[in-house]
Structure 1
């Protein structure tokens, strides 16, 4: 009995860490945008200070509608991982546009993609872990870990765009955000593969999922 218990504990710990890292990657992007978007608009895109302050709001308004739309899709089709991946793809589209397109107006369009994708991932990741972590205390611990790593992402986000990188258009910071997006995609794909394998084993009657949790529910399946 000790070996299966150890395997379950190890698997659970890996999942907690994966969710925490996904949330860390998402909040690093969201906080870096929140902190430095006005500066980027002024120093990199060439907008005036007053215009930059006004131009900060529209991407977040768009992100709100996008967030609700992606949340509806996730609930409608009972999917979480593909939604997170789609959000990160939005960031991967927006970040190169923001950093490398020669037209400032087009670069500003990239801000919409990045802001929408990164901010939409905050509720998506929290729902992802809540759907797949069984047990009251495990879920509480996982939620607390996510919030903690979200705070660490806020610290990292405050260090992503450095003043010495202004001459290069803050491209090292953009590369850091791209790396966070790619990390999230890899982690979600890895979790999705594992969940798919476990669900298929349960469908074949080879095992029951999360049977040792206090709130065990017969027929439970992981949300992909």
Structure 2
């Protein structure tokens, strides 16, 4: 009864939090930068800047103008195997991301920390992962490479998972959280960019994005079912499952990159049977 009374005393915070989420969601509709033509109307870009960016988009992939999504286009886009692979890759990196969010306090608490301290100690790995993600994103954009960055971050995540699962020293196990979070969180934007760089048409991007977000939500369900209460406090089976998903990402990005490389070579040599993504001269980003 006391617990119920306490809950009634502080449950107001979930309203408050829910209301803030709605306010931010509504505000984001007006704040988030749109395509160049509409961004110029809001004053975010000047007319010249909008024309310049639209020209670059058109030169790069010839899809700066929106194409309406129809049922026929939806069926066509869903038949592209790449979208499904990209979505599975996204799911695979959200599994450890959700797992660290859900179970990090429990695992850290088992290292001998109080519940309050354990909750506080979940913050530094998240901050570290943001810094690492920005660094890897800069490298990927600087050298125009996606697959190697994704693969490296998978390795970083696996190392972190294994340290957390097996190392006898709690300080090292806690350090594993830094690596694990950095690897999986950094691959969220990396995999999104990998898809975005390798498909054309705004309608196809809409379908691909919807698939990826949907599969990403499944990652949370998988994380909650594989990290079982009876496996606590180390959750070794769950950590191995998430490591397996990282191995899948590495296999998927390796396979797709090989296929993309072969198709690019055909474009360069003039032996391509048909243009990539329906655009002459378009090449995949590896």
1:61 Cα shift? Answer: 0.8
Gaps of 5+ in 1: 1-8
1:30 aligns with 2:97: yes
Give the structure 1 partner of residue 82 of structure 2. 15
- Give runs of ≥4 in structure 1 deviating > 3 Å: 9-12
1:122-201 to structure 2, matched below 5 A, reads 122-166=188-232, 169-201=234-266
Q: How many residues of Structure 1 are paired with residues of Structure 2 in the alignment?
A: 210
Q: Give the Cα separation in 1 of the matches to 2:156 and 2:83.
A: 25
Aligned partner of 1:75 in structure 2 is 141
Report the TM-score, using the length of structure 1 for normalisation.
0.89
Question: Pairwise CA RMSD of aligned residues?
Answer: 1.6
Once the two structures are TM-superposed, the CA of residue 209 in structure 1 deviates from its matched residue by 3.0
Q: CA deviation at 1:13?
A: 2.3
TM-score, normalised by the number of residues in structure 2:
0.71
C-alpha distance in 2 between matches for 1:210 and 1:129: 14
For residues 35-83 of structure 1, the C-alpha deviation after alignment (integer angstroms, 9 at most, x for no partner) is 111011112x232212211111110111111010000000000011111
**Mapped pair 1:85 → 2:151:** yes
SS state of the match for residue 265, structure 2? helix
Q: What is the alpha-carbon distance in structure 2 between the residues aligned to residue 198 and residue 166 of structure 1? A: 47
Distance 1:183 1:103 in 2: 29
- What's the CA shift for 1:113? 0.3
- Quick check: 1:134–1:210 contact (8 Å CA) kept in 2? no
The 1-side partners of 2:196 and 2:136 are apart by 17
1:173-197, Cα deviation, whole Å (9 max, x unpaired) = 0111110110110000000000000
Cα offsets for 1:149-168 (capped at 9, x unmatched): 0111111122221110016x
Higher relative contact order (CA 8 A, sep 6+): 1
Write out aligned runs for 1:207-222 (5 A).
207=272, 209-210=275-276, 212=278, 216=279, 218-222=280-284
Over alpha carbons, which structure has the higher Rg? 2
1:39 aligns to 2:101 (yes or no)? no
List runs of 5+ in structure 2 lacking aligned partners. 1-75
